[in-house]
Every structure is written in C-alpha cells, then in structure tokens.
Amino acid sequence: MSKKVYYIKYLLITLILCLLCVWSKAQQSQEDDLVNLRLPPIDSLFESAKKSSMIEFYNYRMEGQELALKTERRSWLQYFKISGTYQYGVIGMNTFTDLGSTYPIVYENSGGEQLWYNVGATISIPLDKLFDKKNRINTQKLKIKETLKERDMWYDDQKTKIINLYYKIQSNLNTLKIVVEQSVIADAQYEVAKKDYIGSAITAQALTTAKSLQVQSYIQLEELKASIKISLLQLEILSNKKLLNEK
C-alpha cells in the first residue's frame, strides 16, 4: 500500500471518528437535557391553557352574543317612526301697467320668501313581536350561558388531558434516569467483552450476548426519549406553554 493511499485512509478514518464523537456528544447533550428537565407546577399549565386560541374563540362568541342581547333589548325602538320635510324658496312676480299713449308704462316687481316644513311621528306595534320580546331576550341569555358552559367543559377536558400527560411525563423522566444508567453499563460491559474476546478470555457467543444487551438497551433508551418528547410537545399544545428547548 502506497503512502498516499494510507494517508487518505487515515484522514477518512479520523474524519469518521470526529463525526461520531460530535454525534455522540450531541446525543449525550439531549439525554442530559431530558434527564435534568423539571416540569413547571401543574397549576401554571392550567393558567396558561386559559390563554389558548380556543378560549379566545369562546370569549369572542360570547361578546357577539352579548351585543346581540343589547340589540334585542333596544328592539322596541323599531315600533316608532319619525318623519319630517323641509322646503325653502323665493317667489317673484313682475307686472306692468299701460295707461295709454300719453302716460308711461308702469313696471312693478314683487317677491317674497316662503318656508314649508312638516314633522310627524307614527307608531306601529306588531303584537306578536311585542308579546314574544321577553322570550327572545331569554333565548339570547341562554345562548350566552350555553357558550360559557361549553367553554368551561372544554377547559375541564383540557385540564384532564394535561393531568394525564403531566404525570405520564413525570413517570417517564424518572424511568429515563435508570434506563440511561443501564445503557451506560451495557456499553461498558460490551467494551470489556470486546477486550476479553481479543484476549481469548471469552467466546464469540459471550461477545454476541453482550452486543445484544447493548442494542436492546439502546433501543429502549431511544424509544423512551421519543415517547417523552412526543408527550412534551403534546403538553405544550394543550397548555399553550413552552416546555422543551430544542437545540
């Protein structure tokens, strides 16, 4: 093998090892972030959930229904109608008088201002609307109460979901510490097994068993981390509060 080929292989191996080192540190950092993660008090998540877009939707709906109630209460004004007209003008008249050839023609011009106005009011009361007014007001009040109750039911459902996810995450975080320790032990045992195998202290089957334990430990750790992250993201959506700092 030429020195040039050897040098290229050496660089490639070094690059791969560096990348693996960086990846390993990133994985370790993520594990440390999860292991050291502390959830905020659950009451703060309940309060933050009140600021969600769904709560705003119900509040806007109630606001519109309250305005409709005010309009219904003032609907009696439609029974009254006021009308009026106003006119202003100037009237002019030109005349002349001819008394004969011996007399000059006499011209006369007259004019005046005139103002006309008219004011009136009418009352028209539909009896069906008049007697049904109280029912319409009560119906609008019930719509407001219905929206309020619907908002409270939605909020209670959110709190139930938050509680379930919150304590599920707490349990998984406690389990994560143990699973990380098991993964570290499995890695160490496999490294020892490799050295023992090279030194002919153990068989290939024993080495395979150590590797299998390492793989199982790794899979268990990754599945648990994925489950925690999914639950955290779901809890963020439900509570409207940032919990996981992705890097």
Please say whether the beta carbons of 158 and 62 come within 8 A. Answer: no
Residue 39 CB-density burial (10 A; 0-12 exposed, 13-18 middle, 19+ buried)? middle
Task: Give the pLDDT of residue 132.
Answer: 80
**Domain assignment present for 68:** no
Helix (H, G, I), strand (E, B) or coil at 41: coil
- Assess if residue 90 is contained within a domain: yes
Distance of alpha carbon 230 from alpha carbon 56, whole angstroms: 26
Is residue 106 included in any domain, yes or no? yes
Among 95, 90, 88, 89, smallest CA distance to 111 is for 90
Q: In this structure, is residue 204 part of a structural domain?
A: no
Q: Which two tokens stand for residue 186?
A: 């499995």
Tell me which residue range forms the domain holding 90: 78-123
Mapping DSSP to helix (H, G, I), strand (E, B) and coil, where does residue 175 land?
Answer: helix
User: Would the pTM count as exceeding 0.75?
Assistant: no
Q: With contact defined as beta carbons under 8 Å apart, do 162 and 42 qualify?
A: yes
The verdict on residue 112 lying in a domain is yes
H/E stretch holding 92: strand 80-97
What was the pLDDT predicted at 182? 93
Query: What pLDDT, on a 0 to 100 scale, did the predictor assign at position 82?
Result: 76
In a domain, 136, yes or no: no
**Residue 184: inside a domain:** no
216 within some domain: no
pLDDT for position 21: 43
| pLDDT tens for the chain, residues 1 to 247 | 455 544 554 454 455 444 444 434 444 555 677 888 899 999 999 999 999 999 999 999 999 999 989 888 888 777 777 777 767 665 656 665 666 666 666 566 665 666 666 777 777 777 767 778 888 889 999 999 999 999 999 999 999 999 999 999 999 999 999 999 999 999 999 998 988 888 888 899 999 999 999 999 999 999 999 999 999 999 999 999 998 775 4
Q: What is the pLDDT of residue 102?
A: 66
Domain count, the chain: 1
